[in-house]
Amino acid sequence: MTRTIWLNGAFVAEQDAKISIFDRGLLFADAVYEGFGVLNGQISDFQHHMARLQRSLAELQMTMPYRVEELHSILLQLLERNQQQECFLYLHITRGEHDRDYLYPEGLTANMFAFTQPLHGGFAAAPAVPLTMASTEDLRWARRDIKTSNLLGQVLAKQHAREQQADEALMVDQQGYVTEAGAMSFFIIKNQQIYARQLNRELLPGVTRKTMLRVAAELDLEVVERHYTLAEVYAADEAFATGASSYIQPVIQVDGKTIADGKMGPITSHLREAYLQAIQSASKA
């Protein structure tokens, strides 16, 4: 079956979904995006994703082309056309098209598209897929809090992980502190406490992270927000990563060093179960 893409207000076959080579997203990564998890045909944490998207657009002085309610309806139609109940949903907005110039004129018309694709981290009902990681230098640009399509740093990090025969990268800043995974937020657990790096311009404010931390608070799990090192990761009792289409995944090995007993820990398991219940309940509300 041919996949349907939503592009600039129309549903089209994927082979017909094309934009200009002069699009600023292509030439300068002058674009923002959101990646959503879809569960039971509903978009998880949609309002949180929209809040982050609107913030990213505002930081780049771009305007949201659609009302949030209208966009929600469009994306649900896209899921229905592609007969998707559980998948990854991608939405991309560029500043628009113009001859190559660092400075852009006012009044450009944004290009906007969305598509679905299979999950990377396994289905919610299936056992959690454990991850191995390889650490690497965090080479991303300074405004990591804006979710732009400037992802070359992550591409290099993930390629390094592949070369180390690991599933995912774990990025480390110049001071030796862990920031996050290549495409996920990262956490460790030590002495019953969840360690999370504080949000600032050096970190993407993960939507799954946000909901996970709320669920952790509801479970009376203690969260410590501070910097931590690779040595602390190696010595952790548990480690896990969060992402919109991968939910909560246990991390069982970093740089060839096994985390604890090399299995998903009890807190991670409990948190994953509670998180999945929370987002499924929210989607039914």
Ranges assigned E (strand) in 31-177: 31-39, 42-43, 87-94, 111-117, 131-137, 168-172
Q: Which two tokens stand for residue 111?
A: 């290009």
The one catalytic residue in 147, 158, 210, 284 is 147
Handedness of CA 116, 181, 200, 214 (dihedral sign): positive
Task: Classify strands 131-137 and 168-172 as parallel, antiparallel or unpaired.
Answer: parallel
Q: With contact defined as beta carbons under 8 Å apart, do 17 and 261 qualify?
A: no
The yes-or-no answer on residue 147 being catalytic is: yes
Q: Which two tokens stand for residue 54?
A: 């609107």
Instruction: Tokens 């989607």: give the residue.
Output: 283
Q: Which DSSP symbol is given to 187?
A: E
**Residues recognised as catalytic:** 147
